[in-house]
């Protein structure tokens, strides 16, 4: 049985391009087409409606890089890896780390869009940056990544960027009303900010990493966002809260630490406005994020962005500030 992503027929091509961009499309199997939807076979689970069913095996040659590896290595090599531009980012078990060069060669040979391979050694430090080790290709971590009709350029070793949030960025952008004020509290190289500004939002992006500021400005320019539609503040968010205004929408994409900032940012949300809070959550349901909010707020939507481990998932919570009768009467 193979996991498939179920999408409406009208979204089939767009979904295929996204799955290809993160190498989630399983090319050993064919898509299953029905009257009004398509099932795309997956290498690993992504956000969206997942259907598990018998796959249709393709007769084409496989792009699974593991087929180019010796049997003893192939059994331990991970199927899944991220792609940023022309860089493959892969986590290797300790048992096969000594074969990283061989694995890199197999990845590059199997995927024509990949020219460099980096081993992911984990995220850490005050700026939440991936520690990367180049194991194949030219010695550079700068690349250009294409997503939802936009381009993002950055040094992936100096600024954190998750290709797996492409669909989530598109989802939130479809909620934006032109002219609304948006705060991107942990902006990084500004993928959320650029995406939402493209839909007409007036964005304030905040991040303490000086490299984020450099690449954010580059990405606003690359995507032709007018300077009047964005502002980037290089600072820790807690140091500038007092100087910020009120917002229709706040993006809190700091999955391991978002909850500690709720009491600093929730007062900046206008009545009727929304916080999109990204948080690592135990799968056993032991954490209730709404315990961090007062009665003015309600959760209108919860969704799994993607599994993180066997016990944890990255979740997003759409949390609305309620318009009370008293507030409505004063407006």
Longest dimension (CA), the chain: 71
CA–CA distances in Å: residue 193 to residues 110, 206, 305: 34, 10, 18
According to CATH, the topology of domain 162-330 is Rossmann fold (3.40.50)
Q: What is the DSSP string of 73-119?
A: HHTTS-S--EEETTEEEE---GGGGGGHHHHHHHHHHH-TT--EEEE
- pLDDT computed for residue 330 by the predictor: 46
HEC profile of 176-243: CCCCCEEEECCCCCCHHHHHHHHCCCEEEEEECCHHHHHHHHHHHHHCCCCHHHEEEEECCHHHCHHH
Cβ contacts of residue 231 below 8 Å, gap of 6+?
203, 204, 205
Residue 186 · residue 253 · CB < 8 Å: yes
CATH of 2-57, one of 3.90.580.10, 3.30.70.2580, 3.40.50.620, 3.30.10.20: 3.30.70.2580
Select from 85, 4, 16, 82 the least CA-distant residue to 48. Answer: 4
- pLDDT computed for residue 189 by the predictor: 96
Select from 119, 169, 176 the least CA-distant residue to 149. Answer: 169
Hey, how many other C-beta atoms are within 10 angstroms of the C-beta on 266? 19
Distance separating alpha carbons of residues 214 and 236, to the nearest angstrom: 16
Backbone φ and ψ for 60, nearest 5 degrees, come out as: -75, 160
Q: Return the domain boundaries, the chain.
A: 2-57, 65-140, 162-330
Select from 87, 157, 76 the least CA-distant residue to 122. Answer: 157
Number of H helices, E strands in the chain: 8, 19
CA–CA distances in Å: residue 153 to residues 145, 220, 323: 6, 10, 40
Q: Find the radius of gyration of the CA atoms of the chain.
A: 21
Residue with tokens 């999955």: 255
Name the token pair of 101: 């060069």
Burial class of 317 by CB neighbour count within 10 A (0 to 12, 13 to 18, 19+): buried
- pLDDT computed for residue 325 by the predictor: 54
Tell me which architecture the domain covering 65-140 has in CATH: 2-Layer Sandwich (3.30)
Backbone φ and ψ for 261, nearest 5 degrees, come out as: -105, 0
CA–CA distances in Å: residue 122 to residues 89, 128, 132, 157, 160: 11, 9, 8, 11, 11
Q: Looking at the DSSP assignment, which residues form a beta bridge with residue 204?
A: 183, 231
- Note down pLDDT in tens along the chain; length 331 residues: 889 999 998 888 888 888 887 878 888 888 999 889 999 999 888 888 999 998 888 755 567 899 899 989 999 999 889 999 999 999 999 999 999 999 999 999 998 889 999 999 988 888 889 999 999 999 999 999 999 899 999 999 999 999 889 989 999 999 999 999 999 999 999 999 999 999 999 999 999 999 999 999 999 999 999 999 999 999 999 999 999 999 999 999 999 999 999 999 999 999 999 999 999 999 998 999 999 999 999 999 999 998 888 899 999 999 999 977 544 444 4
Grouping H, G, I as helix, E, B as strand and the rest as coil, residue 71 is helix
Distance separating alpha carbons of residues 250 and 182, to the nearest angstrom: 6
HSE (side-chain half, CA atoms, 13 Å) at 267: 7
């Amino acid at each position: 049985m193979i996991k498939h992503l179920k999408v409406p027929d009208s979204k089939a091509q767009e979904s295929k391009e996204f799955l290809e961009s993160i190498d989630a499309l399983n090319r050993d199997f064919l898509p299953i087409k029905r009257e009004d939807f398509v099932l795309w076979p997956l290498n690993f689970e992504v956000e969206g409606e997942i259907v598990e069913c018998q796959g249709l095996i393709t007769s084409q040659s496989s792009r699974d890089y593991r087929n180019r590896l010796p049997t003893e290595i192939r059994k331990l090599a991970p199927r899944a890896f991220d792609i940023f531009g022309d860089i493959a980012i892969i986590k290797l078990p300790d048992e096969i780390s000594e074969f990283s060069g061989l694995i890199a060669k197999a990845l590059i040979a199997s995927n024509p869009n990949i020219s460099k391979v980096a081993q992911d050694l984990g995220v850490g430090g005050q700026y939440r940056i991936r520690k990367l080790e180049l194991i194949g290709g030219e010695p550079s971590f700068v690349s250009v990544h294409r997503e939802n009709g936009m381009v993002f350029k950055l040094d992936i070793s100096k600024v954190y960027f998750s290709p797996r949030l492409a669909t989530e960025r598109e989802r939130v952008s479809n909620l934006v009303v032109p002219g609304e004020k948006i705060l991107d509290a942990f902006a990084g190289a500004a993928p959320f900010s650029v995406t939402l500004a493209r839909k007409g939002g007036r964005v304030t992006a905040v991040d303490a990493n000086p490299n984020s500021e450099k690449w954010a400005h580059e990405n606003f320019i690359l995507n032709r966002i007018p300077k009047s539609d964005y502002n980037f503040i290089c600072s820790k968010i807690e140091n500038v809260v007092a100087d910020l205004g009120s917002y229709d929408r706040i993006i809190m994409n700091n999955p391991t630490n978002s909850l500690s900032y709720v009491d600093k940012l929730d007062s900046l949300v206008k009545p009727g406005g929304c916080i999109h809070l990204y948080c690592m959550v135990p799968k056993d349901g032991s954490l209730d994020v709404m315990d961090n909010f007062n009665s003015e707020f309600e959760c209108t939507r919860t969704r799994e962005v993607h599994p993180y481990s066997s016990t944890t998932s990255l979740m997003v919570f759409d949390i609305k500030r309620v318009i009370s009768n008293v507030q409505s009467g004063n407006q």
